[in-house]
Amino acid sequence: MTNDNDTIRSFRRPAQRLTASPSHKFAIGVRVIQKFGAATGTDSFSVTRHLPDAGAGLQYRMKRERDGQERVAVESALELVAREDFMQ
């Protein structure tokens, strides 16, 4: 014969471990250039959205202000544009 405590224990789930999720290096709105991948020359992009890791690293959705082209790139392919580089 089972009692109420045995019934409750059988429905309990094991505790899940909380792990810190990696954080994005570039904030939304900052300007970046693509170091490698699709050729962009010296065009800079503005980060518009953070995307999750899809197996190759954290991803970003970016938009080029010159023509509005949007693309997705992994964090390792991006480099921050220095302020003086785009203020001219």
Read off the pLDDT of residues 29-88 as tens digits, 9 standing for 90 and up: 999 998 876 665 678 999 999 999 988 899 999 999 889 999 999 999 999 997 655 554
What pLDDT was estimated at residue 48?
A: 97
Pick the CATH number of 27-82 from 2.30.30.30, 3.40.50.12500, 1.10.3430.10, 3.40.1190.20: 2.30.30.30
Closest CA to 43 of 7, 4, 78: 78
- CA separation for the pair 55, 64 (Å, rounded): 25
Give the three-class secondary structure for 83.
Answer: helix
Give residue 20's pLDDT: 62
Provide the pLDDT for residue 58: 95
Tell me which residue of 39, 44, 38 sits closest to 81, measured CA to CA.
Answer: 44
pLDDT band at 13; cut points 50, 70, 90: low
Task: Say which DSSP state 76 is in.
Answer: G
What pLDDT does 72 receive?
94
Q: How far apart are CA 51 and CA 14, in angstroms?
A: 29
Per-residue model confidence (pLDDT) at position 15: 64
Domain residue ranges of the chain, discontinuous segments joined by +: 27-82
